[in-house]
Amino acid sequence: MNEDIVARIEANPKYHELVSKRSSYSIIMSILMIIVYYGYILLIAFNKEWLATKLAPGMVTSVGIPLGVGVIVFTIIITNIYVRRANTQFDDMSAEVIREANKK
């Protein structure tokens, strides 16, 4: 019986739509994260002088500190965006596919 449900799920066009949307979204989010993270790492590797520039005369904090915090904050935000979409749209699509597979 379980193989029958799996076969119905795999034959459902909504399942393929879900897989396609989820994969595309994951790839886009991953690319954004890679750009931000590796961009920061490349700045550290190739432009240390600019990152070491003080934000204002007499300040202890350099440009690199807020940028590093920005990378962390970006990670939190992008994770939150992904989780919200996964918990709403993707979960709804999954539930619909499973419901349809169990009806037959």
Tens of pLDDT along 36-64? 999 999 999 999 999 999 999 888 999 99
Question: CA separation (Å) from 66 to 1, 12, 61?
Answer: 56, 48, 8
What φ, ψ does residue 51 adopt, rounded to 5°?
Answer: -65, -30
Q: How confident is the model over 4-17, as pLDDT tens digits?
A: 888 999 999 999 99
Secondary element (H or E) of residue 11: helix 2-11
Judged by DSSP in three states, 95 sits in: helix
Tell whether pTM > 0.95: no
Assess contact for 100 and 15: CB atoms under 8 A: no
What are the tokens at 17?
A: 């739509």
